[in-house]
Amino acid sequence: MRLVLGCVLAAAATLHAVPASKAAPTAPGSRPLRVIAEATSPIGDAKPRFVIDAVLTPGDSPFHSDVQGWFAALPPGSGSDTIEGSCVESQCALSGNLASGKMALSADIAGRTLGVGRLILTDDEGRKVGESPVRFSALFGPIAGIGELAPASAIGAVELSDILMWAGAATGFSNVEDGPVGWLQRQALAEWQASHSKPANGLVLRDELALLRREADRAKKSAGWSAMGEPENGWTAGYPAALLPRKVFTMPGEKRFTSADGQAILVMAVDPPMSPADFDTFVARQVADRAGVKNRSYTRVNGDMEITYEEDGQVISAAYHNRPNGFARLEFSHPIAKRATFAAFETILPRSLRVTDELKPG
C-alpha cells in the first residue's frame, strides 16, 4: 500500500487484517495512542503530516512499552501502512515501511504530555533522503479532509473482518482471534474505501464504520443469515437460510443445508482429529492435479486450509481446521450456472467457520 506524504515523492520517498456493541479484548494495561505528527521543515518540497493510530502496551520490563498500529498520510498526501516500535518511559522509536525506503520516527509521545520528535526518511539503499523535526498533537474530533476516528474500543478484528467480508472486501483467509484491529483488516478497509471513492487510508472512521455495519446487517437480513454452532465444542458458523432453506441432517454430527432445488449444498461437521502427517496427506490430496478440476486456488496456514475450485459444472469452496481434539470441515458447492446468486458465499461461508483450540466433535 503506497503512502505519499504530500509531494515528498519528489525527494524519492513514498510512504507506502459478532455483536456490534462488543468491544475487542486488549492486553492488560494497554491504551490507545492517537496523535497527529507534523514535520516542521520540508522534506523534498513538502512537510509530511500523518495520523498515528496505535496501541501502547506495557513491555517486559519497567519503564518499557511496545507500540503496534497504523499510520496514514493527511491531505494532500495519501496512503497508509503499519507502524511499530518501542518506548522507554515517554520516548519512543518508531518505524514504518515505505514504497521506496523506510521512515524512522523519534517521538516523545508515551507520557502524560506530548513532546517533540524527529522524522528521517531513507531510500531502498538506506541512504538518507531527508529529515525534519516533528511536532505532535493529540487527536480529538474530526480530522480535516478525513473524518472522525471511531473510538478505539468500537470494533475488534473479528467483527471488522466480518463486515468487510459482507461488503466484498475480504481480509484473506485466517482464523484470527479477536483483538485490536490489525493490518489485515486495515488493508481490506483501504480496499473498500478506494472502491467507494473515499481516501484509502485504512483508518476506522466513525461514519464509515456505521455504514459498513448497516450494509452488513442489510445483506445478512436479505440472505436470511442464521447462526449455527456449538461454542461449547469450540466452533461457530452461519448459513444463508433464505438461499439454503432445506435442512437434511442424515449423519450424526453432520449439518447439511440445501437450496430448494437441492443443487446448492452446504455441509458442516466436526470429525475426529487428524495427526499432522495425516493432515499433510489430506491437503496434498485436495491440491493434487486431477482431470476436470480448474480455476483452483487455496491457502494453508498450519492446521487451517481454504480451497475453491470448479469441477463437473460445480463450484466448490471449503474450509478445514485441524486441532488436537477435532477436525472441522465446511464444504459448499453450487452450480457454476448459478454463480450470480451464490458467488459471495464462496468466501462468506468458509470464513464464517471459526474454531478455537477447544474444538472437539459434538
- Residue 6 banded pLDDT, cuts 50, 70, 90: very low
Residue 344: pLDDT band with limits 50, 70, 90: very high
What DSSP character marks residue 46? B
**179 or 206, greater pLDDT:** 206
Q: What is the pLDDT of residues 38-77, one digit of tens each?
A: 999 999 888 989 999 999 999 989 999 999 999 998 988 7
Cα→Cα distances 148→58, 132, 185, 348, Å: 27, 27, 18, 29
Q: What's the pLDDT tens digit per position in 192-204?
A: 999 999 999 999 9
Query: Where a domain ends, among 138, 157, 191?
Result: 138
In percent, the amount of the chain with pLDDT more than 70 equals 93
Mean pLDDT, all residues of the chain: 89
Looking at residue 171, its pLDDT comes to 86
Does residue 190 form part of some domain? no
Is position 50 within any domain? yes
Cβ-in-10-Å burial (0-12, 13-18, 19+) of 220 comes to middle
**CA distances (Å), origin 135, targets 40, 49, 73, 109:** 7, 10, 15, 10
Residue 170 lies in a domain: no
Please indicate, yes or no, whether residues 228 and 126 belong to a single structural domain of this protein: no
C-alpha closest to that of 71 among 39, 35, 100 = 35
Cα(3)–Cα(45) distance, rounded to whole angstroms? 16
Lowest model confidence (mean pLDDT) among 14-28, 89-103, 231-245, 308-322: 14-28
Asked, for residue 60, whether it belongs to a domain, the answer is yes
4 vs 94, 180, 208, 331, CA distance in Å? 18, 26, 22, 42
Cβ-contact 174, 301 below 8 angstroms: yes
pLDDT at 2: 41
Instruction: Write the pLDDT tens digit of every residue in 132-145.
Output: 999 999 998 999 88
Average pLDDT for 256-266? 97
pLDDT for the residue 66: 96
- 131 and 232 share one domain: no
Domain around 261:
224-362
Domain termination residue (choose one: 138, 168, 189): 138
pTM of the entire predicted model: 0.85
Residues 259 and 360 in one domain: yes
| Confidence band, pLDDT 50/70/90 cuts, at residue 210 | very high
Sheet strands (E) in 241-293: 246-247, 254-258, 265-271
Tell whether 75 is covered by a domain.
yes
119 and 253, same domain (yes or no):
no
211: CB partners within 8 A, 6+ apart: none
Same domain for 230 and 115, yes or no, is: no
Instruction: Tell me what the mean pLDDT of segment 140-166 comes to.
Output: 93
Mean pLDDT of 229-244: 95
Residue 293: CB atoms within 10 Å: 14
Residue 81 lies in a domain: yes
Q: Residue 136 is inside which H or E element, if any?
A: strand 128-138
Q: Are 343 and 336 a contacting pair, CB within 8 Å? A: no
Residue 165 belongs to a domain? no
Read off the CATH number of the domain in which 89 is found.
Answer: 2.40.128
The verdict on 241 and 341 lying in the same domain is yes
Q: Are residues 246 and 351 in the same domain?
A: yes
Report how far residue 238's alpha carbon sits from residue 222's, in angstroms, rounded to the nearest whole number. 14
For the residues 208-222, what does the mean pLDDT come to?
A: 97
- Whether 149 maps to a domain, the answer reads no
DSSP 4: B
Tell me if 132 sits within 8 A of 48, measured CB to CB: yes
What CATH number does the domain containing 270 carry? 3.40.1000.10
Q: Which residues, 6 or more positions from 302, have their beta carbon under 8 angstroms from its beta carbon?
A: none
Number of folded domains that form the chain: 2
Residue 45: half-sphere exposure toward Cβ, Cα within 13 Å: 4
Q: Which of residues 138, 157, 189 is at a domain's end?
A: 138
Instruction: Pick the closest to residue 242 from 227, 262, 228, 222 (CA basis).
Output: 222
How high is the pLDDT of residue 25?
Answer: 55
